[in-house]
Amino acid sequence: MTDIVKFSVKDWAPEDRPREKLLLTGVNTLTNSELLAIILRSGTINETVVELSQRILKFYENDLDRLGKVSAHQLMSEFKGVGEAKAVAIIAALELGKRRKEENVKSPTRIVCSLDIYNYFYPMLCDLPHEEFWALFLNRSCRVLGRYKVSQGGISQTVVEGKIIYKEAISYLASSVILCHNHPSGNHLPSPQDNVITMQIKKGVELIDMHLLDHVILIGGNYFSYADQGKI
């Protein structure tokens, strides 16, 4: 019986090696698995670094947003051959990409529609593995006076206290308030609890002569607006 010889990346032709390929043909010619292979640097005894990269990406259905939300400990526990150094390298690389994206997106200073709200909060909330609930405070011209993180919770929900929002709104002398939170589950539709909180905050801000303009629920590539749906 003929033995099967397992070739390493070093045995490949230069144009097929991720690092050499990048230098020869440019970074845009590399696949996601090849880019990840450069970050990982080495594979295992039983698989090349490219195969390890492909295995990781396949686990997350080739969704870089999903990969960007996992922790180093998750990577180490889920993938044989991924130790602390490899896991930290992946997390750091994805965080750099996220920060670059944030720097290229200018948050609007004036909010006139739900898309403005989405664009304002997207860089902060899109990749979080937990839920965060924020309030945004505007003047009469709909210009942003400030923002406040009301609460932070788990994967499914967070606890929101209206009195914190009212106190911050008064401190900013705001004319109106906007609410925004993310759904790490990927479902952008409001839950029954979201509906209850929205109505409670709406009544509360009206008692202090302010208006709740919208409540936006944000996920990676989509959002739900209470105002757009006529629910506020």
Residue 230 lies in a domain: no
Same-domain pairing of 166 and 221:
yes
Q: What's the structural domain count of the chain?
A: 2
Residue 121 lies in a domain: yes
The C-alpha R_g of the chain, in whole angstroms, comes to 23
Same-domain pairing of 141 and 209:
yes
Q: How many CA atoms lie within 13 A of 133 on its CB side?
A: 22
Q: What pLDDT is recorded for position 4?
A: 47
Same-domain pairing of 79 and 128:
no
Token couple for 204 = 């509360």
- pLDDT tens string, the chain, 232 residues long: the values are 444 445 455 665 544 689 888 998 889 899 999 999 999 999 888 898 999 999 999 999 998 888 988 899 999 999 999 999 999 999 999 988 877 776 655 566 889 999 999 999 988 888 788 899 999 999 999 999 999 999 987 655 567 889 999 999 999 999 999 999 999 888 899 999 999 999 999 999 999 999 999 999 999 789 999 999 999 8
Residue 22 lies in a domain: yes
Residue 91 lies in a domain: yes
Same-domain pairing of 59 and 118:
no
110 secondary structure, DSSP code: B
User: pTM of this prediction?
Assistant: 0.64
Q: What pLDDT is recorded for position 164?
A: 93
Q: Report d(CA 200, CA 189) in Å as an integer.
A: 18
The full 3-state SS of 171-183, as one line of letters, equals HCCCCEEEEEEEC
Boundary (domain end) residue, out of 103, 134, 151: 103
The residue segments making up the domain with residue 193 are: 114-225
Is 54 in a helix, a strand, or coil?
A: helix
The answer to whether 56 and 82 have CB atoms below 8 angstroms apart is: yes
Boundary (domain end) residue, out of 40, 69, 103: 103
Residue 232 lies in a domain: no
Token couple for 20 = 């050499």
Residue 193 lies in a domain: yes
- 109-112 long-range contacts (CB < 8 A, ≥24 apart) are 109/143, 109/144, 110/141, 110/142, 110/143, 110/144, 111/136, 111/138, 111/142, 111/143, 111/144, 111/178, 111/213, 112/142
Same-domain pairing of 166 and 97:
no
Same-domain pairing of 84 and 126:
no
The answer to whether 205 and 179 have CB atoms below 8 angstroms apart is: no
Q: What pLDDT is recorded for position 9?
A: 55
Is 137 in a helix, a strand, or coil?
A: strand
Q: Report d(CA 89, CA 53) in Å as an integer.
A: 13
* Residue in the block written with tokens 């609460």: 151
Please count the other Cβ atoms lying within 10 Å of the Cβ belonging to residue 183: 23
* Residue in the block written with tokens 């664009």: 119
Q: Report d(CA 199, CA 201) in Å as an integer.
A: 6
Boundary (domain end) residue, out of 57, 73, 103: 103
Same-domain pairing of 220 and 154:
yes
153 secondary structure, DSSP code: -
Same-domain pairing of 138 and 180:
yes
The answer to whether 144 and 137 have CB atoms below 8 angstroms apart is: yes
Q: What pLDDT is recorded for position 89?
A: 95
Same-domain pairing of 175 and 208:
yes
Q: What pLDDT is recorded for position 185?
A: 86
Q: What pLDDT is recorded for position 213?
A: 97
Residue 3 lies in a domain: no
